[in-house]
DNA sequence: TACTTTGGACTACATCTGTAGGAAGGAGCC
DNA sequence: GGCTCCTTCCTACAGATGTAGTCCAAAGTA
């Protein structure tokens, strides 16, 4: 698994998500998975796939005329990268600020708060 | 304060941050503030300011030849917008997943974890 | 075997972003 | 008052992104 800090765009993320969920898949299968959620033209999805291959976020298995795509970068890795740059950009790198903002804005349900506390509690112990 | 869902780019955020910190400021002052942190050419900063004005994220006070810029959108508003779209893109909208990932990856110091717990505790009570 | 169909490769194009140069007008210096 | 300089406005330009069309070869079909 490569440790590329490749920038994956908004639209490309959706393609990656499909393949992180299940791979390898053919372009047609990917298009099938994305059809319900997006209104993208199949051509658009082909373009996104091609760009991801070029970025080395995806690779392709060419077996005769069967092209199957699979991720070269892990979801966790990408999430970490994205989170880091997002936190840096918006919250000066402080996850505390982010959560604080969430809490302040009432964007968290009591259940969510409780679940988060449990999560942190587990970590402590 | 307008409720625009204007997309503020990475570089533009830095300009906004300066003005959220203190405003109004002249372009020269903004450039002065950004000089230490960035290696940007003053021209570049002028461009960013102009774009933000066009996006209606900033406004300008023209007093003769004194141009002073100030934010039209609140920092909180922008943070919320950014956070929402980021969470949606990467974590399917779940802040729980984000924090969980942080916790799992040891990206949080025990102090941070403790602070977060306190934050949540306050909210509960 | 010639025709159609299907999917990948390449091309297109507007917009956004990062990065900056050039023109033009007012303010200060000589 | 003219020249210079600072600052704003307009222009530039390459790379990324969203969105999609065209071309071509391989595979199936008649």
Domain-by-domain residue ranges, chain A?
Answer: 10-71, 75-124
CA-based radius of gyration for chain A: 18
Distance CA B38, CA A4 (A): 24
The verdict on a CB contact (< 8 Å) between B124 and A115 is no
Query: Which is nearest to B117 in space by CA: A71, A65, A100?
Result: A100
pLDDT at position B41 over 50 = yes
Distance CA B101, CA B88 (A): 15
Per-residue pLDDT tens over the stretch B43-74: 999 999 999 999 999 999 888 778 999 999 99
Pick the CATH number of A75-124 from 1.10.4040.10, 1.10.530.10, 1.10.10.10, 1.10.3720.10: 1.10.4040.10
Using the Cβ of B108 and the Cβ atoms of chain A, whether some distance falls under 8 Å is answered with: yes
CB-contacted nucleotides of strand D (7 Å):
6-12, 16-22, 26-27
Question: Is residue B100 predicted with pLDDT exceeding 60?
Answer: yes
Tokens of A25: 């898949």
Decide if B89 contacts A10 (C-beta within 8 A).
yes
Q: What is the pLDDT of residue B109?
A: 83
Query: For strand D, is any atom closer than 7 Å to the CB of A64?
Result: yes
Per-residue confidence (pLDDT) for residue A5, from 0 to 100: 57
**Where is A115: in which H helix or E strand?**
helix A110-124
Residues of chain A falling short of pLDDT 70: 1-5, 124-125
CB spacing of A99 vs B119 below 8 angstroms:
yes
Residues 26-65 of A with CB under 8 A from B: none
Predicted pLDDT at B3: 44
Phi/psi of residue A5, nearest 5 degrees: -100, 45
Buried b (16+ CB within 10 A) or exposed e, A12-47: bbbbbbbbbeebbbebebbbebbeeeeebeeeebee
pLDDT score, position A28: 93
Q: Which of the 8 DSSP states describes residue B45?
A: H
| pLDDT reported for residue B123 | 77
Average pLDDT, chain B: 87
For the beta carbon of residue A106, count every other beta carbon within 10 angstroms: 8
Whether A99 contacts B119, CB under 8 Å: yes
Cβ of residue B48 lies below 7 Å from strand C: yes
Whole-number CA gyration radius for chain B: 18
Q: Please give the class, per CATH, of domain A10-71.
A: mainly alpha
Q: Please check whether strand C approaches the CB of A47 to within 7 Å.
A: yes
Tell if B11 CB is < 7 Å from nucleic strand C: yes
The alpha carbon of residue A85 is apart from the nearest alpha carbon of chain B, in Å, by 9
């Amino acid at each position: 698994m490569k440790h590329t800090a490749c920038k994956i765009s908004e639209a490309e993320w959706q393609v990656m998500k499909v393949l992180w969920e299940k791979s390898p898949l053919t372009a047609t299968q990917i298009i099938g998975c994305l059809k319900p959620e997006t209104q993208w033209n199949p051509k658009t999805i082909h373009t996104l796939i091609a760009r991801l291959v070029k970025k080395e976020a995806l690779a392709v298995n060419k077996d005769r005329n069967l092209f199957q795509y699979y991720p070269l970068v892990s979801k966790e890795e990408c999430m970490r990268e994205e989170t880091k740059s997002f936190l840096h950009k918006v919250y000066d790198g402080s996850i505390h600020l982010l959560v604080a903002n969430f809490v302040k804005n009432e964007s968290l349900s009591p259940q969510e708060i409780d679940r988060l506390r449990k999560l942190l509690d587990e970590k402590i112990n």
